[in-house]
Amino acid sequence: MIQEFDHTPVMVSEVVSMLEPVPAGVLVDATVGGGGHAAALLTAMPRHELIGIDVDEDAVAESSARLAGFGHRARVVKARFDELASTVLALAGDRRPIVGVLFDLGVSSPQLDRPERGFSYRFNGPLDMRMDRSRGVTAAELVNNLGVDELIELFVENGEGRFSRRVAEGIVASRPIETTSRLVEVIEHYLPGAARKRGGHPAKRVFQALRIEVNAELDVLAAGLGSALDLLAPGGRCVVLSYHSGEDRLVKRFFASAASGGCVCPPELPCVCGAVATVRVLTRGARLPSAAEAGKNPRAASARLRAAERLSQGGA
* Cα(183)–Cα(192) distance, integer angstroms: 16
Q: Residue 199: what pLDDT? A: 61
Query: Does pLDDT of 53 surpass 60?
Result: yes
pLDDT digits (tens, 9 = 90+) for 195-247: 656 667 889 889 999 999 999 999 999 999 999 999 999 999 999 999 988 99
User: Max CA-CA distance within the chain?
Assistant: 60
Task: Give the confidence band of 291 by pLDDT, cuts at 50, 70, 90.
Answer: very high
CB-CB contact of 237 with 307 (8 Å): yes
Neighbours of 21 (CB within 10 A): 12
29 forms beta bridges with 52, 102
User: What is the reported pTM?
Assistant: 0.91
Model pLDDT for residues 88-147, shown as the tens digit of each residue: 999 987 778 999 999 999 888 888 889 999 999 999 999 999 999 999 999 999 999 999
| CATH numbers and ranges of domains, the chain | 12-108+217-310 (3.40.50.150), 133-214 (1.10.150.170)
pLDDT at 19: 98
User: Which 3-state string (H, E, C) describes 194-246?
Assistant: HHHCCCCCCCHHHHHHHHHHHCCHHHHHHHHHHHHHHHEEEEEEEEEEECCHH
Position 198 scores a pLDDT of 62
Q: Which of 41-45, 75-79, 195-199, 261-265 has the lowest mean pLDDT?
A: 195-199
